[in-house]
Structure 1
Amino acid sequence: MIDLGISKIALIGAVALIVIGPEKLPRVARTVGTLLGKAQRYVADVKQEVNRSMELDELKKMKETVEGAARDVESSIQTNASDFEKSWTETTGEIMGEAGGVDSNGNSIGFDLPPEYRHPKKKWRIKQGAMPQWYKARSGVRTKAQSGAARVARFRPRPTQRPNA
């Protein structure tokens, strides 16, 4: 690169002063300064673009490695799942044969399935509807839905009016 020291810059300035003249030198210096600024910005933009493209290439490589690892994990999980399913069917088949199921004559031999799950409060709406209205009012069961703001407004104490003095 060009090595410009203080002495070389002073020499260039003196020659420019003699050649251009003192009247036009400030305008020329401003023009040269703006052109140098534009050139520096252009060089900085080019550097940033090169850096972005390099980072983009690195990210693409990283993405490919992560996708490859994900595919490997997925394939290993699928093979393990199929092995697990095979062992599960073998084990449950053995248990069904030993603990219960059907014998050679077609008779059941003691293996009962658990009952189907039922929610304990499945019929609570029917029970609530069968309760008399007077009992609901006495026990404090709310029969009408009301928002929190409406409830606050309903139970807010009323302002007392002062007598005029």
Structure 2
Amino acid sequence: MIDLGISKLALIGAVALIVIGPEKLPRVARTVGALLGKAQRYVSDVKAEVSRSMELEELRKMKDSVTEAARDMESSVQSGASDFEKSWSEATAGLDGAASSYDTSSPLGSLEPPVYKHPRKNWRLKQGAMPQWYKARAGVRTRTQSGAARVARFRPRSNSAPR
């Protein structure tokens, strides 16, 4: 890196004063300062981008390790479930004859899930459940109105227009 001491900066300043002249030196110094500021901002942006990409790479590695751990856990749970099913089938093997004595017509005896039956309620009755006086007091809109009709309804009346 360039080693700039006070003596070297003073020498550069003296040469710039002689070459550029005292009239143009402040303008050139401002321009050089602005260019140095832009360069510093650019370098800091590049550093921030590099650090962001490194953090992103670390997060990807962490995600991969968590995904791998989840896969391992899932496979161990699957193997444990298959072992449980095997031991359950062995334990209930002698009970097959006893299970047939249950009444399968009852919901408790059947192994099939119950079938959903729609309640067949009349939804029109539900609209009338709230009284009209409550709707009026609470400000519930009961009728649909277009935007133009709403503006016309709430437009202030002028005294000169006959009705």
TM-score, normalised with respect to structure 2: 0.61
Pair 1:113–1:87, CA change in 2 (3 A) = farther
Separation in structure 2 between the aligned mates of residue 67 and residue 47 of structure 1, nearest angstrom: 30
Structure 2 match to 1:59: 59
Q: Match of 1:116?
A: 107
Identity %: 63
Structure 1 residues 69 and 155: CA distance shift in structure 2, 3 A? closer
Matched length = 125
2:12 corresponds in structure 1 to 12
| RMSD over equivalenced CA pairs, Å | 3.3
How far does residue 31 in structure 1 lie from its aligned partner after superposition? Answer: 1.4
Which portions of structure 1, spanning 4 or more consecutive aligned residues, are displaced by more than 6 angstroms?
Answer: none
Name the aligned partner's letter for residue 21 of structure 1: G
The equivalent residue for 2:92 is 92
Amino acid at match of 2:20: I
Q: Which amino acid is the alignment partner of residue 116 of structure 1?
A: P
Q: Give the TM-score taking structure 1 as reference length.
A: 0.60
Higher relative contact order (CA closer than 8 Å, sequence separation 6+):
1
Which protein has the larger Cα radius of gyration, Structure 1 or Structure 2?
1
How far did 1:86 drift? 1.4
Unaligned runs of 5+ in 1: 103-110, 126-141, 157-165
Give unmatched runs, 5+ long, in structure 2.
Answer: 109-116, 139-163
Q: Distance in 2 between matches of 1:143 and 1:32?
A: 78
